[in-house]
Amino acid sequence: MIIIKSPLRITLGGGGTDLPSFYNQNNGFLISATINKYIYINLYRPFKDFIFLKYSSYEKVWNVWDIKHPIIKKVFERYFHNQKKN
């Protein structure tokens, strides 16, 4: 099991302009801050052969390439791509 703890980022302006899909075509501008609240991510291998994601929505997929959330999908794609190199 992997548990990740990250400070909560509050975007005061420009949310989304820090993503490559935006700043590759436009100028990015972002004002944000962190507070003493945290976001936790838990990763563990389930007893089933699927990936179950819970965020503001739910996803149950059989492989990484079927994930709908673009940021989570990119993280998993990068992870699995790096694993193939090793």
How many Cβ atoms are within 10 Å of 84's Cβ, its own excluded?
A: 6
Is the pTM here over 0.85, yes or no?
A: no
Q: Averaged over 37-65, what is the pLDDT?
A: 85
Confidence at 82, pLDDT banded by 50, 70, 90: low
Q: What is the pLDDT of residues 13-27, one digit of tens each?
A: 776 777 777 888 887
Q: What is the pLDDT of residues 55-78, one digit of tens each?
A: 889 999 988 889 999 888 988 888
> Closest Cα partner for 24 from 12, 16, 32, 33?
16
Give the burial string for 41-70 (b: 16+ CB within 10 Å, else e): eeeeeeeeeebeeeeeeebeeeebeebeee
